[in-house]
């Protein structure tokens, strides 16, 4: 199989009545790595959350299709089972549920009843992924994200990504909070997933991440829209010159989403 296609068409999203996304168009195919950049408050996390089905975000117009299937009709868990994964900017902490129980439930949720992963196999796979991410083995028995440092939370998101092997991975600022060594380790983990059945959308502010994970496409969001797309050189220019030249080019003064 060649990999999945996620199509976002004219997506409008509101939160508590205010429109934040104002017509986003984006297509991600298996094998492709896309980077989404843009100033703070321009709707990047909103896009990621709307794709995954965050309860606070209301899609008012447009469509999201995964291999032609209407994602907006699916419950959050169905979206995950269809192949979507979001590494969140701010993952939840859940007390009393161990990281390992959570991971095993997640893996089993994506398998048929009666075909659950054996405990031995699960532990082996988890150990392997944790080694790759240079994570402390104790993290497996800690409660999910509870008391994790910022960087540990990010690594834990990537651990889930590596174990769940989705068709499309969306990574929201996976590089924030990571020290330089950790960034390399995490990038290596993400790169290990690179093949034609895995499509990826990385939200980031920094070229640094893209030095390790080279994107095929770079998009810039402002005012709740994708205002510019290009290749990896676009990210390099942003790193060097900032966003002003795009704003000038497009006649934008304030890039953030102005709420009604």
Partner 1 sequence: MTVDTKLPYEKEYISNYSADRNEPEWMKSLRLRALELVDTLPMPKPEKTNITKWNFDKFKHQSEGKKLDSLNDLPEDIQVFLDKENKNSNLVIQRNQSLAYQSLDNSLQEKGVILTDLSTALEKHSELVQRYYMKDAVAIDENRLTALHTALMNGGLFVYVPKNVVVEEPLQAIFWQEDPEVATFNHVIVVAEENSSLTYVENYISHNEQEEAVANIVTEVIAMDNASISFGAVDNFAKGTTVYVNRRGVAYRDASIDWALGQMNDGNTASENITHLIGDNSHSEAKTVTVGRGDQSQNFTAKIVHFGKQSEGYILQHGVMKDNASSIFNGIGKIEHGAAKSNAEQESRVLMLSKGARGDANPILLIDEDDVTAGHAASVGRVDPIQLYYLMSRGISQKEAERLIIHGFLAPVVNEIPITAVREQLTQVIEGKVY
Ligand X SMILES: Nc1ncnc2c1ncn2[C@@H]1O[C@H](COP(=O)(O)OP(=O)(O)OP(=O)(O)O)[C@@H](O)[C@H]1O
Contact call for residue 46 and Mg ion (CB under 5 A): no
- Which CB, 46 or 129, lies closer to Mg ion? 46
- Which CB, 4 or 173, lies closer to Mg ion? 173
Contact call for residue 204 and ligand X (CB under 6 A): no
Contact call for residue 90 and ligand X (CB under 6 A): no
- Which CB, 42 or 99, lies closer to ligand X? 42
Residues 86, 258: Cα–Cα separation, whole Å: 26
Q: How far is the CB of 71 from partner 1 (least distance, A)?
A: 13
Candidates 4, 45, 145, 160: give the one binding Mg ion (CB under 5 A): 45
Tally the C-alpha atoms within 13 A of residue 197's C-alpha that lie toward its C-beta. Answer: 5
Q: How far is the CB of 258 from partner 1 (least distance, A)?
A: 26
Contact call for residue 204 and Mg ion (CB under 5 A): no
Contact call for residue 194 and ligand X (CB under 6 A): no
Segment contacting ligand X by CB under 6 A, of 4-12, 39-47, 69-77, 113-121:
39-47
Residues lying near ligand X in the complex (CB under 6 A) are found at 15-16, 20, 38, 40-46, 56, 89, 256-257
């Amino acid at each position: 199989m060649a990999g999945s296609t996620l199509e976002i068409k004219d997506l409008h999203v509101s939160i508590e009545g205010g429109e934040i996304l104002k017509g986003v168009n984006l297509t991600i195919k298996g094998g492709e790595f896309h980077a989404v950049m843009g100033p703070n408050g321009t709707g990047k996390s909103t896009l990621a959350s709307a794709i995954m089905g965050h309860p606070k975000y209301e899609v008012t117009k447009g469509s999201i299709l995964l291999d032609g299937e209407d994602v907006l009709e699916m419950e959050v868990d169905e979206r995950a089972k269809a192949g979507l994964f979001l590494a969140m900017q701010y993952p939840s902490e859940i007390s009393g549920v161990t990281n390992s129980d959570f991971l095993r439930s997640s893996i089993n949720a994506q398998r048929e009843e009666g075909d659950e992963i054996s405990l031995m196999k699960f532990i082996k796979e988890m150990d392997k992924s944790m080694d790759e991410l240079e994570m402390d083995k104790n993290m497996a028995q800690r409660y999910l994200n509870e008391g994790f440092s910022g960087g540990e939370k990010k690594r834990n998101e990537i651990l889930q990504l590596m174990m769940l092997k989705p068709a499309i991975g969306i990574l929201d600022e996976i590089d924030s909070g990571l020290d330089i060594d950790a960034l390399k380790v995490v990038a290596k983990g993400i790169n290990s997933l690179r093949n034609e059945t895995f499509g990826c959308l990385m939200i980031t502010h920094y070229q640094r991440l893209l030095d390790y994970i080279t994107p095929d496409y770079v998009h810039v969001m402002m005012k709740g829209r994708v205002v510019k797309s290009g290749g990896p050189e676009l990210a390099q220019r942003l790193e060097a010159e900032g966003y002003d030249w795009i704003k000038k080019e497009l006649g934008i003064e304030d890039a953030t989403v102005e709420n009604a």
